[in-house]
Structure 1
Amino acid sequence: MALDLTVRGLSWGPRPDRRIIEDISFDVPAGTTTAIVGANGAGKSTLLRSIYRHNRPLSGQVQVGGRDIWRLSAREVSRLVAAVLQEGAPDFSFTLREVVAMGRIPHRNGQPRAGADEAVIDRVLAEFGLTDMADRTFGSLSGGEKQRVLLARAMVQEPQLIVLDEPTNHLDIRHQLEIMALLGRIRATVLITLHDLELAAAVADQVLVMRGGRVCALGPPGETLTPATIRTAFDVAATITEAATGRPRFSFDLIS
């Protein structure tokens, strides 16, 4: 079951006088996808770290399904929220199945995996087209395959909210399309950072645009990804045209 995300007055920095994000508020309705876009250094990844309970906010609240994540235990939050990060996965000396199975740890309370855990793992492996590869070592996989495995590990957690930081980064076009197709089948609320504005417009119900650690626009893609907003957020001039698919296409020029 997907749950809504509510963020109110969120600020974080390494110390109170050096805040990287400031006074951020937004809602992600249950079962929808929100894409976060902005220039490098805008605060996108920092925002995500507070939402998946890595950075404790200096001020503000993060609620999933009306529950403040900082009033819950780490185990309770890991049953609600899963994260797939862009830092790059280590080359685990585990099989693909073993890596995916790690997603069941929050549900096991220190006990060995039970039949119900194995059923969830088998289902997700099948949904992600990984069953026939389950005995391969994680280190032998391609970049796109590794990203599919990490996404599958997150889904084995059975989260109500999944947070993804640039999941298509460093992937070729085919693997980008595969990852985005998998995201379209996820039965959870999705919060995702993306550099590609066309991808954001294609997959998101709403887009949150950041600049300088603050929100500068929020709403449906057609209302937020405008030339004026793009100029403000990225310091470039944008031209937007409609492709044959009905989706917007963006071209950019430096501002002289």
Structure 2
Amino acid sequence: MMTAETTAALRAENLGWRVDETTILSGVSVAIRPQAMTMVIGLNGSGKTTLLHLLAGLRKPSTGRVLLGEQDLVETGPKERSRIMALLEQTPSAHVELTVRDVVQLGRIPHLGGWGVGNLGRRRSRDEGVVEEAMASTGVADLAQRAWSSLSGGERQRVQLARALAQEPQILLLDEPTNHLDLRHQIDLLERVRGLGLTSVTVIHDLDLAAAYADDLIVLDSGQMVAAGPTSDVLTPDLVREHFGVNGEVWSDSRRGFTWRGLQP
């Protein structure tokens, strides 16, 4: 696993994005802490997915920039970017019938090319090893020959996580990965991500899960960043009351950090 010294730094400087005359995101400056689990929270329409897509290089900023290491992300080619960052989309889909192994093998695409004919066997052996390890670490090895279309929502998310890990990323980006999952599978997925030790940025709407798993939080409201930092500093009753419109109580737990109880409008 990458160390903090070798993990590429990811940060945003005065980041903004507009559609026609509508500002979706503006003035976001934040540094993602290496090997920390950072979560982005905010009400619907606050710009969470937009921020994630800008950090992933899927959209070109209208203002500001995203830096991967010391390089502007817009100057980084898709293949190079995909060797460093992997994105887990909110609603993954496949338009052709694929097996689980096929889906996970897609993660090796950024690493193809640049090999001589004599090294072809070695490359295939390494790719197969990485795919097997990714499936084992996400608990889907026994599903390898199953059709993607036959999987449950929780199984699909774990397979997509395996596909992302097959990219061997330093940075993992996830867009509401717990959506449509029952509580058991939500916890399972976040436990697996946290156990990887990678730098991760996760968009999430559930404050309980954010409180329980995030090392750091980024809070968005109406397209602007209103807070960022360690979860214990950011997630306060005053902040939730002001930006989420509910009252709550924060309590400390030695295993989970912080969580919420007694939320009332």
With normalisation by structure 2, the TM-score equals 0.89
Shift of 1:187: 3.7
Letter in 1 for 2:50: T
Are positions 1:30 and 2:34 aligned together? yes
Corresponding position of 2:16: 11
Q: Please list the CA deviations of residues 149-188 of structure 1 after superposition, one character each: whole Å capped at 9, or x if unmatched.
A: 0011001011111110111111001111210121022242
The answer to whether structure 1 residue 250 and structure 2 residue 261 are counterparts is yes
1:242 to partner: Cα distance: 4.2
Q: Any conservation in 1 of the 2:250–2:258 contact (CA below 8 Å)? A: no
On the 8 A contact 2:248/2:260 being kept in 1, the answer is: no
1:208-255 CA deviation, whole Å, 9 max, x = no partner?
Answer: 11101011111111211111111222122223334585633233222x
- Matched-pair identity in %: 38
- Deviation of 1:110 (Å): 8.8
Q: How does 1:1-256 map to 2 (within 5 A)?
A: 1=2, 2-15=7-20, 17-90=21-94, 92-109=96-113, 114-242=124-252, 245=255, 247-254=258-265
Divergent runs of 4+, >3 A: 110-113, 241-247
* 5+ long unaligned stretches in structure 2: none
Q: Could you tell me which amino acid in structure 1 is paired with residue 244 of structure 2? A: F
Q: Give a deviation string over 1:123-148, Cα, whole Å, max 9, x none.
A: 11111122221011111111100000
The change in CA–CA distance for 1:244 and 1:98 in structure 2 (over 3 A counts) is: same
Superposition RMSD in Å: 1.9
1:202 is paired with a residue whose SS is: helix
Structure 1 window deviating more from structure 2 (167-176 vs 228-237): it is: 228-237
TM-score using structure 1 length: 0.92
Task: Report if aligned partners of 1:148, 1:179 keep a CA contact under 8 Å in 2.
Answer: yes
Query: 1:21-77 deviations in whole A, cap 9, x for unaligned?
Result: 001010112111111100001100011111111110011111122222111111111
List runs of 5+ in structure 1 lacking aligned partners.
none
